[in-house]
Amino acid sequence: MNVRILEAREEIGDVVCEIAEGPIWDGRFELLRWVDLNRGLVHAFDPARGQLPSWQLGQHVGFVVPLGEDRLLAGLRDGFAVVGADGRCELSLELEADRPWMRINDGKADPAGRVWAGTMGIESPGSEGTLQRLERDWSVRSELRDLTIPNGIGWSADAATMYFTDTSWGRIDAFDYDLERGALSGRRTYVELSRRDGQPDGLTVDQDGCVWVALWYGGAVHRYTPDGRLDTVVRIPALQATSCVFGGSGLRQLFVTSAAYGLTDTEREDHPRSGRVFVCDPGVAGLPTEAFAPVG
């Protein structure tokens, strides 16, 4: 089996994050956005202007997705919030108010404009996590329960398949996806990862239908073909890869986020660039970042 090996060593932006997560390519402005989860920050990088001012949202932030012409929807500790073009944040929908020890983790918008988001324990993740579906009318439905660290979410180019991983599983699952209703069925294991490769975190899908998954404590991103075969490894100069997204001209650059959180002193010395965002040209194009499209 021939596996292509690539390196993503070039850094993007000027910030060093504790946990860089949730990268998106915001096609409205042609810039990369990502969050620093525990610090509650949203960062942005414009290829033409460089690093842009960061926004402080005041609590944990797991992800952002585009909303309307110039706003963002953010997944915060307390629920879903709208972030204005000036960075001002307003909580729009409280989530799991009866469980204040939980927070939103990773999240994505599907091609129909609804948002999927995982929840997990803030301090010590147990099996209390959920996968929630935010509809365009702002109603919420819990789709999966008994999760620990819900993370990567993505869809095939035809939106007929949804991919999802809980980092604690060590695998990626695939579901048949009804885009019109947002319904899941036909759950099966798509990829089972070896423990020595690291743990699956954030993921994205390319135009060829292949899944790219960042590996926590794996220092890499793996690309798997639609039939689950590993065909590309992208190495980064950080131990904890957290997520990845395609962006840039023609969506042909792969951006990879990383984390410094939890590293030992020795690991920090061995991986001094942890917490940065890296980029490479993998030779394929990705799919666009979808937006939340509320109605009413």
Active site residues: 201
Supply φ then ψ for residue 55, to 5 degrees: -110, 135
Instruction: Using alpha carbons only, give the angle 33, 35, 37 rounded to the nearest 5 degrees.
Output: 170
Is 218:233 a contact under the CB 8 Å cutoff? no
**Strand partners of residue 52:** 44
Encode 38-63: b = buried (16+ Cβ within 10 Å), e = exposed: bebbbbbbeeeeeebebbebebbbbb
Closest-CA residue to 153 (of 261, 258, 290)? 290
Is 52:60 a contact under the CB 8 Å cutoff? no
**What is the bridge-based pairing of β-strands 89-94 and 102-109?**
unpaired
CB atoms within 10 A of CB 227: 9
Which pair of tokens denotes residue 139? Answer: 């109603």
- For 5, 31, 71, 154, the CA distances from 47, given in Å and listed in that order, are 26, 7, 20, 25
- List for the chain the helix, strand, coil content (%; round to 5): 5, 55, 40
Which pair of tokens denotes residue 247? Answer: 């962006």
